Structure 1
Amino acid sequence: MIIHIVAGGPEHLIPDLSKYTENEIKWVGVDRGLLYSLKRGIVPAIGIGDFDSVSEEELSWLRQQCEHLAISPAEKDQTDIELALDWAIIQKPTLIRLFGVTGGRLDHSLATIQLLVKGLSNQIEVELIDQQNVLSLYEPGTYKVYKELEYRYISFLPFSEKIQGMTLSNDFKYPLADCDLTWGTSLCVSNELIQETGTFSFNHGIVIMVKSKD
């Protein structure tokens, strides 16, 4: 099962959701993201959040359209997105995708990126996707990357204080061999695949990989 979480970030930054049509998808609408989903003909299995970004009239309509609403108080210790992610993790999916979580308040965007660690700790792949980028986190290991015409650039950034043994295969335009990365470096930004596939590997730390369009 795959779970798609649609949050209430700027609507123009949400990609075309009709492209994500694999079997066994369960949708979650977070706050105004529930409204965005319904406008696209998607009826989420559940709506989660305090819904402080919708009007009373809109909330009344959402109640009619979505059978299950988990409405939380506005004053709480978790963001709406964290509540939705926690719910999704309990369902034990193979993949969680987050939409509508970038481009608004920077504090919320940064907090959501940090929340991806919850996927790692539960052995669930989590992707953050907007109109321009696909972002995911990785623990030590060796990984294959596929060339995608839509996402030309591939960047790797330290998510932990230090990355040890970072290696990019010769299939990358700028290969790298057994290099240590620390916070504050842009060494691995804006790379590209020159073959159909490539690999990256490292032996310590957590790495952010971002695939970006032109």
Structure 2
Amino acid sequence: MNIIIVAGGPEEKHPDFSCFPIDDSVWVGVDRGVYLLLKKGIKPSYAFGDFDSLDSREREWISSYELPLFEYDSEKDKTDLELALEWALAEQPEGITLLGATGGRLDHELANIQLLLLGLERSVPIEIRDIQNSISLKAPGTYEAVNEPEYPYHSFLPFNGPVKGLSLSGFKYPLEQQYLPMGSTLCISNELVNKSGTYSFSDGILMFIKSHD
């Protein structure tokens, strides 16, 4: 089972929902993300939020669908997305995709990227996707990177401390056992030269970003 969570980020930043397996995934709406899903003709299996980003007419329209609803007060210690993500992780899915988590307020965007840590802690892959980027966090190990036309650029950033022993093979700019400190831009905008390549590292947490201009 895969869970796709749609948050309330700007609609113009969303990827094409038809790229995702609509019928084979559990779709979850968060706050304004519920409204955006219904506008796309996708009825979410669950809805989370305080819905303070919706006007009364939009809320009335959503209520006509009689969705399973987890509603919260606007004053709370966790964001609506974090609450929805905690629920999704408890379902023990194969993976989770977050949409609508970027492109709006910077504080929310940075906090949403940090929520990817919850997936590492539970050993559940979480990916943030928008119209231009794919963002994920990786624990030490060896991984394959595949050449995808929609994502020609691959970037590697240390997340919450230095990354040690980073090696890149099959890339335009290969590396061997590189130390990558916080603040380094060494590994921005690399490109695969083959159909696939590998990246590996021995210590730290690595942010892997696939993107296009």
TM range (shorter): over 0.9
Map 1:68-107 to 2 at 5 A.
68-107=68-107
From the superposition, tell whether residues 132 and 66 of structure 1 become closer, same or farther in structure 2 (CA, over 3 Å).
farther
Is 1:209 matched with 2:208?
yes
Shift of 1:66: 4.2
Is the partner of 1:201 in helix, strand or coil? strand
The equivalent residue for 1:24 is: 24
Quote the offset at 1:64 in angstroms: 1.5
**RMSD of aligned alpha carbons:** 0.9
Corresponding position of 1:167: 167
Secondary structure, aligned partner of 1:65: coil
Matched, 1:198 2:192: no
Deviation, 1:115, is 0.5
- Return the offset for 1:58: 1.1
Match for residue 120 of structure 1?
Answer: 120
What TM-score, normalized by structure 2, do the two folds share?
0.98
CA distance in 2, matches of 1:192, 1:22: 30
User: Counterpart of 1:166 in 2: which secondary structure?
Assistant: strand
Could you tell me the percent identity over the aligned residues?
50
- Unpaired runs of at least 5, structure 2: none
Tell me the CA shift for residue 161 of structure 1. Answer: 1.0
* Matching residue of 2:53: 53
User: Cα deviation per residue 1:34-64 (whole Å; 9 max; x = unaligned)?
Assistant: 0000111111111101100001121121111
Deviation >3 Å, runs of 4+? none
Q: How many residues align?
A: 213
Q: State the one-letter code of the partner of 1:201.
A: S
On the 8 A contact 1:47/1:66 being kept in 2, the answer is no
Report the CA distance between 1:22 and its aligned residue. Answer: 6.2
Per the TM alignment, residue 23 of structure 1 is displaced from its structure 2 partner at its CA by: 5.6
Cα displacement (A) at 1:24 = 3.0
> Which segments of 5 or more consecutive residues in structure 1 lack a partner in the other structure?
none
For 1:150-184, what per-residue CA distance to the aligned partner results, in whole angstroms no more than 9, with x for missing partners?
A: 11100000002111100001x10000000111110
The one-letter code of the counterpart of 2:179 is D
Letter in 1 for 2:171: F
State the AA in 2 paired with 1:139. Answer: A
The normalised TM-score by structure 1 is 0.98
- Amino acid corresponding to residue 57 of structure 1 in structure 2: R
Amino acid at match of 1:112: N
